[in-house]
Chains A and B, each alone.
Chain A
Amino acid sequence: MLLETRDLGKSYGTVRALIGVSVSILAGEVHALIGENGAGKSTFINLLAGVVHPSSGSISIGGEVLEPGSVRASEAAGIAVIHQESTAFQHLDALDNLFVGREPRRWGCVLDRPRMRAEGRRLLAGLGETLQEGRPLAELSVAQRQMVAIARALSVRCRLLVLDEPTASLSARECGALFAAIRRLTAAGVAVLYVSHRLEEILALADRVTVLRDGSHVETRAAAGLSKDDLIRSMVGREVQEHGHGAPSAPGAVRLAVRSLSRSPCFHEISFELRAGEIIGLAGLVGAGRSEVAAAVFGADRPDAGSVLVDGRALPPGDVRAAIAAGVALVPEDRQHLGLVLPMTVGENLVLAVLASLARGGVRRMSAEAAVAAEQMKAMAIKADSPAVPVRTLSGGNQQKVAIGKWLAAHPRVLILDEPTRGIDVGARAEIYRLIRSLAAGGLATLVISSDLQEVLGLSHRILVMREGRISGELSRQDATQERILALAMPQEAAVAGVSP
């Protein structure tokens, strides 16, 4: 056994990102790590990398306990991590990117360029790439940058290589080169922890699979004999819990029509209709392009092609003011940064969207503002001592209610909610669900973007699933299950050719 985590846990405030995970990784194996969005995969990787400090438990490698929360200690112990987000230095060239932080040196400080060059060539050649010296990384292709990142990880004599979604931006040929490199490493006794949503890749590559769900370790088993459906079932779990959703009231007229909306490279040919009183759930993995679609509908981004119609009238593209005037409201994902002005009071936030219409001759009318704020606080059941307390001091759930209430004050006709319950505790969640349902019952057309499958199933009358920028399927409330949604959301294999050994 190479690496063992014992009862490893991480909490952020009251949110438990990882709960008591005990996993062992063997030398020379490809160990796959899978789970839905928010299952705790990134937290697990960051703990191994020493980027975050564990709240409980320990990691030992080669029988020795690893110093927690230290990137240097993890590196020294032979753990190399290729993170999913861009960890490249765009201004530096490939060679500097390969070696920064552990540069070969002469006389203690001067770079040993000849050695860097020779070693860089050798590392990249092992991945089927040639070294492009002197050009900033920003000028290379995405795949070339990825290869540089992998070569960087290989440049240390690592015992465990962690790859977080390494093939997301690679072509089939490049995937083939990567898998060949992985096999060469494991043959030499290096362990590879492989995190991916591409299940077929995992089935072809992995020796064992560990499944995480809601921060907990579900199981670790041999990959041989498993099917894609087995993995999806294990990621989802069996306890599909009904939310006791009332039957959808008869949907009214089409409020929002989206026609062939495209914005390269985020999303392509998105078309759907949303009726009055209807709640559509938009499901998919993080990065599938859901928030980008919302931003384009709202006019915050300008689409390349396609149109957005509200009540049959086309909105001018890329014009937020026109979208608001037509009755579109967007409660964004990042509530703290985009949805609210945290230092301002609850009352001030609640009237932000209607300031101009309440004012007379450009001067604010405090009495009208106070009336609107009081009305919204009551309607939304916002728990705050008074409208005069800063929003910052409220709980996450109440902040979200303020963010929604801000838009409701403007009497929108179409409401888009992006991850409405992220970071909100269970009790407040139920309240927000009740609110969304009663708003829809009142005739509001609602689009809910959510990565939480139970939330999507519990709220929606219809479910659209996005995969890699396209709508991959539509499910009615009756037909939808977590498994079917996940099957539609998981990326299709582009790289199968490169997978087979």
Chain B
Amino acid sequence: MTGAWLRSREAGVAGLILLTVAAVGTINPRFLSVENARDILIAASPGLIVACGATLVIVLGEIDISMGALMGVCAAVLGKLVSAEHAGLPVWLATLIVLSLAAGIGLINGLLVTVARVPSIIATLGMLTILTGVGDLLMAGETIGGFPDSLRAFAIGHVGMLPMPVLVALACLAAFTVLTRETALGRRIYAVGSNAHAARLAGLPALRLKVLAFTLTGLLTGVATLISAPQLEVIEAGFGRQFELFVVTAVVVGGASMSGGAGSIAGSALGVLLLSLVRTALIFLQLGIGATYWERAIQGGFILAAVLADHVSRRRRVQR
């Protein structure tokens, strides 16, 4: 059992994380501080949360690339609903509206893929484009600020040592780990992704599972917005942009197969951590403006390496 784990993708990514921490820590010891670790975890939280849903979608053999744009829309709507200069609604009501909106968009994605049979990459690409436009329309070139203190307190608050966003992320990870490993629902999701034909013969409700996965991804995107947007003084246009690439990359790096059936919440979480770590590490390496460009290149390298590793291991299995 231990031997098998050491050969797993999760172990590989965990090893890369340790290696990165050790290497960057040697060059710049300040990287190893508690504050930095906390900052990295806070920054990783939205990714950790949304990756839970994205993992289900990818395990089912589908993909969702509308999360970033949805985050932008959610942030804009949230700002407009709660800020004193706009609607000024109570926080609980605004939260409820944002979560329903996010889940509703996810539901539409799911229905497009299952009922209308639009390939998921096209359906969510369309959604991405629409939501980007809606977000820009809502922002109208301005910024939205003035979150009430109660909401900001939630997003930057602590429970003991743990920042609130990290706590929410951990709760999501725990819930989805149980869901995928210990419930009938979770095992059925893996079964449908593993062999759609056999799933049909076993009478599994493939379409309903897909709708659920997309809806959960939408809902989690709403949650991620609620814990990240109020950290900022003001929301600017472009909030959440390319977040979907970050999440999908992390999930694939974490061992999920684009052809479905394989992947784990733990792996995806490690993938998010690795990519977040790289982002911060590049800043600590003091590359200046180049850091952003390097981040893109490294992210791209990771996704290609992950897909290649998946391909090679599958070919080896077939040959046996």
Contacts and interface: CB of A to CB of B under 8 A. Distances in A.
A49 B201 contact: yes
A100 interface: yes
A67 to B, nearest CB: 13
B275 to A, nearest CB: 24
- Residue among A89, A110, A135 with the highest chain B CB neighbour number at 10 A: A89
A135 B1 CA distance: 9
A338 interface: no
Contacts of A101: 188, 191, 202-204
A36 interface: no
A86 B187 contact: no
B191 A86 contact: no
B183 interface: yes
Contact of B190 (A83, A86, A96, A109): A96
Contact of A91 (B185, B188, B194, B203): B194
Given A96-B190, A101-B191, A91 B183 contact: no
Nearest to A75: B203
A105 interface: yes
Interface string A122-147: 00000000000011001100000000
A91 B261 contact: yes
A163 to B, nearest CB: 14
Contacts of B204: 100-101
B317 A109 contact: no
A100 B203 contact: no
A92 B198 contact: no
A91 B193 contact: yes
Contact of B191 (A83, A85, A89): A89
B160 to A, nearest CB: 29
A51 B191 contact: no
B161 interface: no
Interface residues of A, number: 28
Interface string B1-33: 100100000000000000000000000000000
Contact of B187 (A49, A51, A90, A96): A96
B184 interface: yes
Contacts of B190: 89, 91-92, 96
A100 B262 contact: no
A110 B200 contact: no
Nearest to A73: B203
A91 to B, nearest CB: 4
B183 A100 contact: no
B187 A92 contact: yes
B197 interface: yes
A364 interface: no
B195 interface: yes
A86 B4 CA distance: 25
Given A89-B194, A92-B194, A105-B184, A134 B202 contact: no
Contacts of A91: 190, 193-194, 261-262
Contacts of B183: 109-111
A88 B187 contact: no
The bracket for how many chain B residues form the interface is 20 to 34
Interface in B189-234: 190-191, 193-195, 197-204
- Residue among B183, B199, B201, B204 with the highest chain A CB neighbour number at 10 A: B201
Nearest to B59: A91
A90 B201 contact: no
Interface string A273-306: 0000000000000000000000000000000000
Contact of B200 (A71, A86, A92): A71
A228 interface: no
Contacts of A135: 4
Interface in B132-190: 178, 182-185, 187-188, 190
A86 B203 contact: no
Contact of B203 (A72, A90, A96, A103): A72
A87 interface: yes
- Residue among B187, B204, B261 with the highest chain A CB neighbour number at 10 A: B187
Q: Interface of chain B, helix or strand or loop or mixed?
A: helix
Interface in B33-57: none
A113 B184 CA distance: 11
Interface string A75-111: 1000001010111111110001000110101000111
B194 A87 contact: no
Nearest to A46: B201
Contact of B201 (A87, A103, A110, A138): A87
B4 A134 contact: yes
B62 to A, nearest CB: 16
Interface string A309-333: 0000000000000000000000000
Contacts of B262: 91
B311 to A, nearest CB: 15
A72 B205 CA distance: 11
Given A75-B203, A100-B202, A101-B204, A134 B1 contact: yes
Interface string B246-282: 0000000000000001100000000000000000000
B202 A90 contact: no
Nearest to B263: A91
B182 to A, nearest CB: 5
Nearest to A113: B182
A111 B198 contact: no
B317 A92 contact: no
A113 B178 CA distance: 13
Nearest to A72: B203
Nearest to A133: B1
A265 B134 CA distance: 56
Nearest to A97: B191
A134 B3 CA distance: 12
A188 B187 CA distance: 32
Contact of A89 (B203, B261, B317): B261
Contacts of A103: 184, 187
A167 to B, nearest CB: 20
Contacts of A49: 201
Contacts of A75: 203
A211 B203 CA distance: 29
Contact of A110 (B4, B182, B188, B202): B182
Given A100-B187, A101-B191, A87 B197 contact: yes
Contacts of B191: 89, 92, 96, 100-101
A135 B202 CA distance: 21
A421 to B, nearest CB: 27
A280 B307 CA distance: 45
Interface of A: 49, 51, 71-72, 75, 81, 83, 85-92, 96, 100-101, 103, 105, 109-111, 113, 134-135, 138-139
Interface of B: 1, 4, 178, 182-185, 187-188, 190-191, 193-195, 197-204, 261-262, 317
Given A87-B195, A91-B194, A100-B188, 10 more contacts: A71-B202, A81-B201, A87-B198, A89-B191, A89-B261, A96-B190, A101-B191, A101-B202, A109-B184, A111-B183
17 contacts: A71-B200, A71-B203, A86-B195, A87-B201, A89-B191, A89-B194, A91-B194, A91-B262, A92-B187, A92-B190, A96-B191, A100-B191, A100-B202, A105-B184, A111-B183, A134-B4, A138-B317
